[in-house]
Amino acid sequence: MCTHFYPPVLPRPRLTGYCAPVDEGQLTIALRIAKVRTQIAAACERTLRPISSVQLLAVSKTKSEAAIREAYAAGQRDFGENYVQEMVAKAAALADLPDLRLHLIGPLQRNKVKQVLPIAALIHTVDRETLADEIQKRAEALGRVVPVLIEVNVGGELSKAGCTPDDAERLADHVRACKNLSLRGLMTIPPDTDDRDRTRGYFAALRDLRDKIGNLPDLSMGMSHDFEIAIEEGATIVRVGTAIFGSRS
C-alpha cells in the first residue's frame, strides 16, 4: 500500500473549448462571409431548400477595391454596386479577376445605361418602361441579351424606387416583349422596420407576385438584417453588405 503523499496534479486548463468574446468589427471579411454562408445554409435547412438555390451577393458599394479582392480570395464572385460611376471604376480596377460578376442594385438613369451594360451581370432595378426600352436599344446595338429583374416597391413608399405591385405584371409583359432583355425575376427593398412579421409579409408578397406573373426563377430580397427571413420566404438572391464588409461611414 502506497502511503506516499503526492502533490495533487492539477488538470491543465482546457483551452480548446474556450471562446474569447468576438468583436464582430475585428473579424476578417473571409470569416464574415463564412458566417453569412453558415446562416444561409441554416435558413435553407429550416425550409428544406437546397443551399444551391440561394446566391449570396456581396454588396460592396462605397467599399474599397482591396475589400472586394479579399472577398474574392475567400471565394465570393458576385458583388452588388449601387452607383454606376463607382461600378465602372471598379470594373476597370478589378478586370484581372476572372469570373468576377458585378450586379447593379441601385437606381438606373437612362443616360447611364450605355456605361453599365458592358459590365453588369444582372440589373436588379428595372422599374419603368422607358428604362426597359433604353436597355433594349443599347443591348441590341451591342448584340447582347441582358438579364434583368423588375424592382417592385412592395411597401408603397414614396421615397423608394420600384414599380407598384399593380404595375408589375404590365411591366413584366413589356420587358418580355423586348427581345434583348431576359426577365429573370423580381427585386424589392421593403420598408425598414424592426417588426420581423411585417418584413416577412413584404417578402411573401413579392413571392406571391412572382408566382402570379409566372415563369420567373429569381427573387432578389433580403439584406444584412433580414436575409434569413427572406430565404425562408423564397429569396434566390440575398444582397448582404454590412454583415460582410462592416458598416458604411
Ligand X SMILES: *Cc1c(COP(=O)(O)O)cnc(C)c1O
The footprint of ligand X (CB under 6 A) covers 59, 61, 82, 105-106, 189, 223-224, 239-243
Query: Under a CB-based contact definition with an 8 Å cutoff, are residues 183 and 131 in contact?
Result: no
Question: What is the smallest separation between the CB atom of 249 and ligand X, expressed in angstroms?
Answer: 12
Q: Give SS3 for 83.
A: coil
Question: What is the smallest separation between the CB atom of 42 and ligand X, expressed in angstroms?
Answer: 18
Query: Under a CB-based contact definition with an 8 Å cutoff, are residues 110 and 89 in contact?
Result: no
Gyration radius from the chain CA atoms? 23
Nearer to ligand X, 136 or 202 (CB): 202
Question: What is the smallest separation between the CB atom of 82 and ligand X, expressed in angstroms?
Answer: 5
C-alpha–C-alpha distance, residues 10 and 16, integer Å: 17
* Three cell numbers, residue 78: 458576385
Question: What is the smallest separation between the CB atom of 68 and ligand X, expressed in angstroms?
Answer: 14
C-alpha–C-alpha distance, residues 203 and 104, integer Å: 20
Question: What is the smallest separation between the CB atom of 239 and ligand X, expressed in angstroms?
Answer: 4
Question: What is the smallest separation between the CB atom of 87 and ligand X, expressed in angstroms?
Answer: 12
Nearer to ligand X, 201 or 246 (CB): 246
Query: Under a CB-based contact definition with an 8 Å cutoff, are residues 97 and 75 in contact?
Result: no
Nearer to ligand X, 174 or 239 (CB): 239
Residues near 27 by beta carbon (within 8 Å), at least 6 away in sequence: 35
Closest-by-Cβ residue to ligand X is: 241
Residues near 196 by beta carbon (within 8 Å), at least 6 away in sequence: 226, 229
Query: Under a CB-based contact definition with an 8 Å cutoff, are residues 224 and 241 in contact?
Result: yes
Query: Under a CB-based contact definition with an 8 Å cutoff, are residues 80 and 61 in contact?
Result: yes
Nearer to ligand X, 57 or 136 (CB): 57
Nearer to ligand X, 155 or 241 (CB): 241
Question: What is the smallest separation between the CB atom of 124 and ligand X, expressed in angstroms?
Answer: 7
Nearer to ligand X, 103 or 138 (CB): 103
Nearer to ligand X, 89 or 95 (CB): 89
C-alpha–C-alpha distance, residues 240 and 244, integer Å: 7
